[in-house]
Amino acid sequence: MTRIVSHFEEVITQLRRMLPKNTATAQAINQHDVSERIAMAAIDYGYVETADAFVRYVEARLRRGA
């Protein structure tokens, strides 16, 4: 479980570097909000429709950005 949490945190850190700083998602990450709030910000911003889709979105975004 610790490995999953560590991987998620790494993915979130990398995602933050790709986001414009004025988005709610970026601000949630900056404020070290819990992953659910970050996912909700991503949903509200229109990146994704569900929290599960958020994880897939983050991973896909990282693959494209790498």
Q: Into how many domains does the chain fold?
A: 1
Return the H-helix or E-strand segment holding 56: helix 51-65
pLDDT, one tens digit per residue, over 9-62 is 777 888 888 888 888 889 999 999 887 888 888 888 887 788 788 778 777 777
* Site of tokens 């509200």: 44
Domain that holds residue 28: 2-65
pTM recorded for the entire structure: 0.68
Whole-number Å distance between alpha carbons of 42 and 49: 8
